[in-house]
Structure 1
């Protein structure tokens, strides 16, 4: 094999230069999975097409991700055997590793950008702080060889590639004496669905893309066509990177708005004694309404909690259009953020108006089943509000051992229900849906809240037969 260290001899990493080099900048939930998918791309001879290097920051979190990928382990707990198997294949093939040294970009042919872009909630209006993204672009622009391709997968406010990333790369290139267009810039947003279909949602799913120039778009298309199943899931090219960025933000805004829309109907169902899940199931038979949302515990994760605000941020900060409002998107974010309080209000009513000294067992802290991701989890809103009312909350999750946002451990073994006043189910993890409630509860009779359509018909029947107080959000 043809191994090379680094042009500056500062890179303590042996990589095979007999294949094109792909770097994935940012090894979070998306970047880690994307690096694995690229490392599994194969040519007609069955051999790997690329040498893949994941790159993260030289801090505690980044080094954990780097060391995990380098030794063939996922940095995050999850529930997708296909992704785990793909990581094993890449590790055995020897074409996937990771580093926290940005010098690796000097030998990269392609870079996929998968770094976080956060909302600053402390500002008078929600703002995006572009500093981390700009510094990441400085790392690329100061090192990438001419002709390299940069594909931005990060969800960004529309106009970011054209007005932030492109100029930042150009400035770094010009400082090196290179033309401003020496690097190709494209945007192709991910549609990763963490959980049981994690890997499939990357390699067997439709992709949208665009380039800042036709040449960049062509290069992006060629690359994606070697990694994704474009025969069954053809690529869609849009006219500009701003259009591609808008498509991603609009997709997530649409989903957030339709989730928020169901909240008022959930309260109606509870008030008049009907089952909204039964009703939604009937409506979904109509093809045009097959993806209708339903009441639940809340919206969490890194996307739907912030992305609907990116339209307003873009209009105001990138295009100078203070006159453009996004009232539906903004109200959806507010409505969804308050959803966990519905379960808390229900619990308070069941206890006669006070939660003081009540012991509550919260089953599920990740924002959804089959993934250990507690970022913006609705469970955090619930716990913080309950504890302000002096309730005592104990949390369990099948995939989370430590809740970083609340700096506390999480039970990995299902606790004995004895001594709890209430049990709240928040996500449809398989261990919860398989739980024999009668055998687990024994003589305990806590109030039970199904906050997210977690329990099966048989489990609900068990609770009624046991005489437990039972409430289901979205059912009257």
Structure 2
């Protein structure tokens, strides 16, 4: 440590006297709060949603795949509390910002949540605090956007306070990898900021991976998600090609992944979902324009992936015409799954919402069943769908639909019953085949 301020902060980390603040108590911030609390730090969580704050202080995280017991344990031990009072941001020694970074309708970065959070921190910033952004964003955000705001009151980064970026790597519902055993990439604004941020994360994660700057850490996160986006786009395009040839893309992938080197399996679907993969690549394409650099490969992948919901609906229309000599207009369709991935209640950027909208544009009646999502929540992009309720998945209900469209392959669903009682199934996840169900009425897409 090169300064007494940094040395004092390090000591507070080592003896667990440091108080950690987390802004945003959702899919990223809440697991982080639990992990930090387990490492015997006191955590103060900040959220603008007073309903969430009240629920958390009762021990209810409101997220199905995150158990409530660790929250209740942390509260009972005096290691966690939630608040909507952002004037208390002067209390924590370290502040971790875990807020959404969505896209606008023009597919440009919407930094409003980061800006508001940074403004709240700046209003109470005191000497010795460590501020870390975890939200996925374009390279340069921490130093170009946040740093000037935080220094607006006269304090200087690296001298009076410390600033870093460490990208979240949460995978909701992953039974193997969680906050504590996923390595943390860290980039600091100066050597002290890097050392302090890395030491803080060392206290509750398995490994920290220091990089040269916040911009480098921001670029790591985008690289990870662009890698997935591009490879998913590739396999989605292969699906379209192979289906035209009468070849099952799922069979091809299963055979190809037996090669022990030079190949990694990715799987097709009805479109991208989740907060990261459909969004993060466009943060880099936007920033690249500043440097007169085109991002054709990334944008092409985005075009392929965003075209998948319409391709799936076209395949469903073809299947209805071939089986029943009827079109989508007036057809009753049941969507299986509105969560963006299996076994969670996370509906962010779910392709199922787009599928419902396209189906209804074409005159169909679209219902859904999801064992993890009882009611579609309010969203900016699909406001008209808010409040719709999951219908029961029974044989009696199934016979009332012209087709079932499997969009999310949740475990625990009775795919054999669906294959038996549905009139037609369009399966975008190969769920019926994996379950060993009768494939007579199944069309893959």
Q: TM-score, normalised by structure 2?
A: 0.89
Q: Please name the residue that 1:4 is paired with.
A: none
Per-residue Cα deviation, 1:17-62 (whole angstroms, up to 9, x for no partner) = 9932111011121111211111111xxxxxx2x11111011xxxx1
**C-alpha offsets along residues 159-195 of structure 1, whole Å, 9 cap, x if unaligned?**
1111101111111x31xxx345421001111110011
The 3-state SS of whatever aligns with 2:431 is coil
1:228 aligns with one of 205, 208, 231: 205
Q: SS at the partner of 2:314? A: helix
Q: How far, CA to CA, are the matches of 1:388 and 1:92 in structure 2?
A: 51
Query: Which string of whole-angstrom CA distances, capped at 9 and with x for unpartnered residues, describes residues 322-368 of structure 1?
Result: x2111111121221112122221111012226201111111100111
Give how far 1:394 is off: 0.8
The answer for the alignment partner of 2:79 in structure 1 is 95
Aligned to 2:9: none
1:472 match: 444
Contact 1:109 1:145 in 2 (8 A): no
Per-residue displacement from partner, 1:65-112 (whole Å, max 9, x unpaired)? 21222111122232x5xx544334323323111000012211110111
| Distance in 1, Cα, partners of 2:362 & 2:313 | 10
Aligned residues of 2:374 and 2:390 also touching (Cα < 8 A): yes
Does residue 1:413 correspond to 2:392, yes or no?
A: yes
1:387 aligns with 2:360: yes
Task: Report what 2:426 is aligned to.
Answer: 449
Change (3 A) 1:53 1:413: farther
2:406 to 425, 439, 444: 425
In 1, Cα distance between the equivalents of 2:412 and 2:55?
26
Q: Distance in 2 between matches of 1:456 and 1:33?
A: 34
Distance in structure 2 (CA, Å) of the matches to 1:441 and 1:293: 25
Query: Would you say 1:190 and 2:168 are equivalent positions?
Result: yes
C-alpha separation between the residues in 2 aligned to 1:187 and 1:139? 18
What is aligned with 2:97?
Answer: 113
Unaligned runs of 5+ in 1: 1-16, 42-47
Matches within 5 A, 1:58-457: 62-78=49-65, 83-122=67-106, 126-171=107-152, 173-174=153-154, 178-180=155-157, 181-197=159-175, 200-230=177-207, 235-289=208-262, 291-316=264-289, 320-321=290-291, 323-352=292-321, 354-404=327-377, 405=379, 406-411=385-390, 413-415=392-394, 416-432=397-413, 434-437=414-417, 444-457=421-434
How far has the Cα of 1:446 moved from its partner?
Answer: 1.1
Residues 1:142 and 1:344: Cα distance change in structure 2 (over 3 Å)? same
Let me know the Cα RMSD of the aligned residues: 2.1
Supply the distance in 2 between the matched residues of 1:441 and 1:428 (Cα, whole angstroms): 14
Residues 52 and 371 from structure 1, CA distance in 2 versus in 1: closer, same or farther, beyond 3 angstroms?
same
Task: Quote the offset at 1:441 in angstroms.
Answer: 6.7
Inter-CA distance 270–315: structure 2 relative to 1 (3 Å threshold): closer
CA contact (8 A) 2:337 2:407 kept: yes
Q: Aligned partners of 1:382 and 1:394: how far apart in 2?
A: 11
Give the aligned partner of residue 14 of structure 1. none
Q: Is the 8 A contact 2:409 2:431 kept in 1?
A: yes
The more displaced of 67-76 and 390-399 is 67-76
* Secondary structure of the corresponding residue to residue 286 of structure 1: coil
Q: Measure, in 1, the Cα distance between the counterparts of 2:30 and 2:435.
A: 38
Q: 1:250 to 1:457 in 2, by over 3 A?
A: closer
Note the C-alpha offset of 1:118.
2.0
Q: 1:129 & 1:265 partners in 2: Cα distance?
A: 32
1:56 and 2:42 equivalent?
no
Change (3 A) 1:458 1:127: closer
Compared CA separation, residues 97 and 282, structure 1 to 2 (3 A): same
Structure 1 residues 94, 287: CA separation in 2 closer, same or farther (over 3 Å shift)? farther
Q: The residue matched to 1:362 in structure 2 has which SS?
A: strand
1:396 and 1:414 in contact (8 A); partners too: yes
SS in structure 1 at match of 2:178 = helix
Unaligned runs of 5+ in 2: 1-14, 380-384
Q: Counterpart of 1:13?
A: none
2:150 alignment partner, SS class: helix
Q: How many Å separate the matches in 1 of 2:160 and 2:430?
A: 53
**Secondary structure of 1:119 counterpart:** coil
Alpha-carbon distance in 2 for matches of 1:297, 1:340: 5
Question: What per-residue deviation string (whole Å, max 9, x for no partner) do you get for residues 179-223 of structure 1?
Answer: 45421001111110011438x321101221110110000000110
